[in-house]
Amino acid sequence: MSHEQYQSIILNLQECVQACNHCYDACLQEDDVKMMRQCIRLDRECADICVLLAQALSRGTPFAGELASVCAKICEACGIECKKHQHVHCQRCAEACFKSAEACKQLTG
């Protein structure tokens, strides 16, 4: 994999972290916060694994494939949950999660 492809995956992960954290923050401020519980929870799960993978990739981890594989699963689960809600922050987060999941799959060969 070229350095450029790697960089592009890290960028996708970082965008996903921001989208998840923004969605988490916004969900906690919604009137229907009870409906958003699963979204809040998955936003945090997803942000944390994306952060770990982005860090690991940027320091040349020998476990890129294994970490990317679990990261892809969590991103997808978060994207599927976010997709269900009509809030703009949820829709944007879903998009970032699916993009990040796709990026991860480049590493799982």
Does position 77 bind a copy of itself by CB under 8 A? yes
Distance CA 11, CA 17 (A): 10
Q: Residue with structure tokens 């990317």? A: 68
**Count of chain residues binding a copy of itself (CB under 8 A):** 39
DSSP assignment of 21-38 equals HHHHHHHHHSTTGGGGHH
Max Cα separation, the chain?
46
Does position 91 bind a copy of itself by CB under 8 A? no
Other beta carbons less than 10 A from residue 31's beta carbon = 7
**Selected binder of a copy of itself within 1, 5, 8, 28 (CB under 8 A):** 28
Q: Residue with structure tokens 């703009």? A: 88
Near a copy of itself by CB under 8 A, which window of 9-17, 87-95, 96-104? 9-17
Where along the sequence are the contacts to a copy of itself (CB under 8 A)? 10, 14, 17-18, 21-22, 24-25, 28-29, 33-34, 37, 40-42, 44-45, 47-49, 51-52, 54-56, 58-63, 66-67, 69-70, 73-74, 77
